[in-house]
Amino acid sequence: MNSISAIPIRRALLSVSDKTGIVDFARALADLGVEILSTGGTANLLSANGISVIEVADYTGFPEMMDGRLKTLHPRIHGGLLGRRGEDDTAMVAHDIPPIDLLAVNLYPFAATIAKPNCALADAIENIDIGGPAMLRAAAKNHAAVTVVTDAGDYDRVLAEMRAGNGAVCQATRFDLAIKVFEHTAQYDGAIANYLGSIRAEGERDPFPRSYSAQFRKVQDMRYGENPHQGAAFYVEPKPAEACIATARQLQGKELSYNNVADTDAALECVKGFATPACVIVKHANPCGVAVGTTILEAYNRAYQTDPTSAFGGIIAFNRPLNAATAKAIVDRQFVEVIIAPEVMPDALAVTASKQNVRVLACGQWGAERIAGWDYKRVTGGLLVQDRDLGQVARSDLKIVTQRQPSEAELADLLFMWQVVKFVKSNAIVFGRDGMTLGIGAGQMSRVYSARIAAIKAADEKLDLKGSVMASDAFFPFRDGVDIAAEYGVMAVIQPGGSMRDSEVIAAADEHGMTMVFTGMRHFRH
C-alpha cells in the first residue's frame, strides 16, 4: 500500500449535489484553518452561512460555462489532487498548482432521476456527472496524500481524526475512503450503462440492457458455503426495496450459515404471501409445513403438524411479531435453526435466550404490495436474469373446468395451497385443507411421484386427506396424478392447465366427482 507520512489538511475542495451536513462540515474545516474551495450551489450555500470560500472559477482563472458542464476540469484542480507529494513538487510549483488535501464530492442524482415516471432521455443525460467522478477518481488514486469523502456519513469521522491528529487523517482511513470512492463511481457508471444500454435504436426501452452491472455490499464472511469445502460470503443490495433477509437484524444466536440464509429467504418470502397470521417452516429450501390461524401460535402449531420430522432443524418464519407464547412453544418442542419475524417482542427474546444457539431475526415490516425486481441464477460462464415471480391469482381469475363447482371452503383452500406450491421446488404437489398443509411433495422428476410422496408424508403423520385439496405448480401431463389424489380422498384440484391432455385430466376429475380449477399461470421453481 502506497504510504507517506500524514500531513495536515490545509486546502479542501467541496462540491456536492446532496448538501446534507455540508455546512457543518465546512464550518468545522474552516475552524481548523483549512482553506475552502467550492463551486456553484455549494459555494453559494457556504457563503450564505458565513463561511469563507473561494470559488473554483476564481481559483483557476477560468469561468464556469456551458450551464455548469465545465467548471472543475482544469489542471489547477486535477494537478492539486493528483500531484504526488515529494515527487511532483517541482512541476506543481512551476505551474502554480497548490496541493488540494481534501475533496468532498457527491454526484448528480442519476439513479433518482431515471426512477421518476416518464423520465426523458435528455433529463437523464444532463444528470450524468462528469467533473465529479473525474475529481473523485483523481483524489482516490492519490489517497496516499489526499483524503476523499463521498458519503456525508464520513464527515464526522474525518473531523475527529483531524482534531486528534493535528489536522491530518491517517493512511488507513484515507485508503478506506478511496475504496468507497471506487465502489461509488462503479455503481454510478453501472447505473448509467444499464439505463442507456436498455434503450433501443428506435427509442423504446428493453427490459433487459445489453450489458448488466450490479453492485452488492458484503455484510458477512461465512465459515463455509453450501458445503464445508466451499468458501462463502453474504452480500446485500445497497438499498433493499422491501423487508427481507437482507434487512434482517440478528438478535441472538450463532452466526448465520450459507444454508441458513438461503432457507430463511425461502421461508420469509413464502410467509409474506399471507394476510392472516401465518407460519412457514422450511427445510432444505422447501416448505415442510405452512398454515394460517387466528394467532401465530395457532398457525405454528398447525404448520408443525404437517411434518414434524422434517421440521427438526428447520427455519420458521412468521408474518406477525414473534411473541413469548409462540417462542416458548417452539423452543419447548423442537430444535430450530432460525426464527424470523417482522419484529420480535422483548418477552419472546427472553424466552429464546434459554436456547442461545437459536438464531432469532427481525427483518422489519413489509408492505401490502410486493416490490418488482429481478431474480438471478448463476450458470457456468453466465447469468440467467428474470423478473421475480410475483404472479398472483384471485378467485375471478380461476377457470372452473369440471362439472362440479367448488364450494366456498374449497375455493379458499385452493387459493391457499396455490400460494404454498409456488414456493415448493418443482415438480411440486401440495395437499391441504382448512388453511393448513397436509402433505408436500417436492423436487421430483415425475409429478406423479411428487403426489405419492405428499400422500405418504400425510399418512406418516396420520393426517386424513379425505375432503382435502391438491395444488400442482404446473399442468398434469397425464391423468395419473389426479387418479392418485382421488385414491386418498382429495376432492378439489388447482393447476395451471395447458397440457395437450387437459381433456383427459378433466375427465378423470369428473369421474372421481372432483372439482378442478385452472389458473392459467405456472409456478416452476428450480
Residue-level pLDDT at 266: 97
User: What digits encode the pLDDT tens for the residues 418-454?
Assistant: 999 999 999 999 999 999 999 999 999 999 999 999 9
Contact of 335 with 312, CB cutoff 8 Å:
yes
Neighbours of 114 (CB within 10 A): 18
> What is the helix (H) or strand (E) element at residue 121, kind and residue range?
helix 121-126
Distance CA 311, CA 282 (A): 7
For residue 498, the cross-strand partners are: none
Domain coordinates of the chain in residue numbers? Answer: 11-198, 243-362, 396-518
Residue-level pLDDT at 201: 78
CATH number of 396-518: 3.40.140.20
Q: Which residues, 6 or more positions from 176, have their beta carbon under 8 angstroms from its beta carbon? A: none
For 464, list phi and psi in degrees, rounded to 5.
-80, 125
Contact of 37 with 115, CB cutoff 8 Å:
no
Assign 3-class secondary structure to 196-252: HCCECCCCCECCCCCCCCCCCEEEEEECCCCCCCCCEEEEECCCCCCCCHHHCEEEE
Distance CA 467, CA 450 (A): 19
Q: What cell does 443 get?
A: 423436487
Distance CA 391, CA 117 (A): 23
Query: Three-state DSSP class for 361?
Result: strand
C-alpha distance from residue 429 to each of 416, 439, 482, 523 (Å): 13, 8, 11, 11
Question: How many whole angstroms from its chain centre is CA 87?
Answer: 46
In our burial notation (b when 16+ CB lie closer than 10 A, e otherwise), range 195-228 reads beebeeeeeeeeeebeeeeeeeeeeeebeeeeee
Preceding omega of 427 cis (within 30 degrees of 0) = yes
User: What digits encode the pLDDT tens for the residues 165-207?
Assistant: 999 999 999 999 999 999 999 999 999 999 999 998 777 889 9
For the range 226-230, what are the long-range contacts, defined as Cβ-Cβ under 8 Å and sequence gap of 24 or more?
A: 226/258, 226/259, 230/258
In our burial notation (b when 16+ CB lie closer than 10 A, e otherwise), range 267-280 reads bbbbbbbbeebbbb
**Over its length of 526 residues, how does the chain's per-residue pLDDT go in tens digits?**
445 567 899 999 999 999 999 999 999 999 999 999 999 889 999 999 999 999 998 898 877 777 767 777 888 999 999 999 989 889 999 999 999 999 999 988 888 898 898 888 889 988 888 889 999 999 999 999 999 999 999 999 999 999 999 999 999 999 999 999 999 999 999 999 999 999 987 778 899 999 999 999 999 999 999 999 999 999 999 999 999 999 999 999 999 999 999 999 999 999 999 999 999 999 999 999 999 999 999 999 999 999 999 999 999 999 999 999 999 999 999 999 999 999 999 999 999 999 999 999 999 999 988 899 999 999 999 999 999 999 999 999 999 999 999 999 999 999 999 999 999 999 999 999 999 999 999 999 999 999 999 999 999 999 999 999 999 999 999 999 999 999 999 999 999 999 999 999 999 999 999 999 999 999 999 9
Q: What cell does 198 get?
A: 436498455
- Which residues does the annotation mark as catalytic? 141, 284
Q: Is there a common fold for 243-362 and 396-518?
A: yes
Residue-level pLDDT at 4: 59
> What is the helix (H) or strand (E) element at residue 35, kind and residue range?
strand 35-38
The pTM of this model reads 0.90
Distance CA 414, CA 397 (A): 13
Query: Three-state DSSP class for 92?
Result: helix
3-state percent breakdown (helix, strand, coil) of the chain, nearest 5: 35, 20, 40
Q: Please, what is the angle between helix 324-333 and helix 296-306, to 10°? A: 20
Beta strand pairing call for 232-236 and 217-222: antiparallel
Residue-level pLDDT at 64: 76
- DSSP of 151-204: -GGGHHHHHHHHHHTTT---HHHHHHHHHHHHHHHHHHHHHHHHHHTTB-TTSP
Q: What cell does 421 get?
A: 406450491
Architecture of 11-198 per CATH? 3-Layer(aba) Sandwich (3.40)
Domain 243-362 is classified in which CATH homologous superfamily? AICAR transformylase, duplication domain (3.40.140.20)
Q: Which residues, 6 or more positions from 161, have their beta carbon under 8 angstroms from its beta carbon? A: 168, 169, 170, 173
